[in-house]
Structure 1
Amino acid sequence: MDRQTLDMEGARHGEISAASLQLGDDTIAIRRIATMCVESMEFAPWDMPRNRQSQRLHATLCVANLFFALAALAWWGLMPNKPSSTVALFIAGVLLLLGIFLGIRAAMIAAKIRRREPYYRLTIGTSDARQIPIVDDNRDVLIKIRDIVRHKMDTGDTETVGEFDLNLDIVDLKLPKAAQPAARSPARPELAPGSDDPEILFDADEEEAVAAAQLKSAS
């Protein structure tokens, strides 16, 4: 059976640049976005023309097999003593089993066609009356994309860029330097137990000067 995917309902991957949003073949300027709305939707993944045609074919063959099975049973009942009645009984049994199988198959296809699956849609409306949907079965990912775009709209931020792939539930952003965590300063050496002042380290020149002064005072 053929199955629809969420890609048929809207965009699934895109790129957020400095001043625009790329969704498939559509490019939206951030400053032209007018509305954003996250809504819950439903779609029928198996409701496709080929599946509906297959369901009708199975149902038609089921009815035809049951009809000829009843005709063969009638022949067997009306002429029980003829050799052909045994053949008619065998044919009726085969057609009856085949008709039941086709009927069960038609019912299963019909149940799949009627099945509905939930998903979420982030609809972005622009000032030129376009509406471009981004769809996913994870609402949190769509909320994250909406908040990023809203932040760029409100602050005029051009440094936050990145891309997203909803097939993998990935939103990969490159944050501006101001938003990145600052590097930690190196830890200071701990004081020795019982000492009040940190240890003073002398370089080589200072050590030579101290040694010369001691020799001069001794002479």
Structure 2
Amino acid sequence: MTEAAERKMQFLFALRSKGVTDSRVLTAMEKIDRGPFVRGIFANRAYEDMPLPIACGQTISQPSVVGLMTQALDVQPRDKVLEVGTGSGYQAAILSQLARRVYTVDRHRRLVREARQLFDDMDLTNIMAITGDGSFGLPEQAPFDRIIVTAAAEDPPGPLLAQLRVGGIMVVPVGQSDTVQHLIKVTRLDTGLDYQELRPVRFVPLLEGLGKE
């Protein structure tokens, strides 16, 4: 077995052992190589199940958390998905394998620019990457079938909940500090919102406004 094949097998085994069992999610994560999304001195650690630093003081989440969030989102082939916090672009690339269309927003121009380049290189044509204040979502494209937030908010953001269609699902880390956060799955029902707590996590905070670069 080649080193690359062995690495991929270990990568998928690590995902399964952490609870990522949805076959569609595993297939998407097998198809999208995490390598190109990790640059510089950490490139050789791209296949380890750990978060890693990226530009603009942000991080690329550990693969098992990406997998669990994607699994909780339960994306269907016809879905229109909003991601708040493009970061490296890795999560959006995974979602692009599962959804009809992915809109991803980040406050850092540089991250959006670099992610766009990767999406082009990988021929991922169903992703729209936008520089903007993701805490307000994308009202002009609403409603969304699925919304995923990759930064922690004190509460699930109201503007985003308003852009979720009935029957839609939002997955968001919620917590007041960077020490205690929980991954929450919110489902919009005819009668209101259903909240389900999934697991403890750690994410960078969701900030308003645009970044410096």
**Bigger relative contact order, structure 1 or 2, given CA contacts below 8 A and separation 6+?**
1
The alignment's TM-score, normalised by the length of structure 1, stands at 0.18
Q: Which has the larger radius of gyration?
A: 1
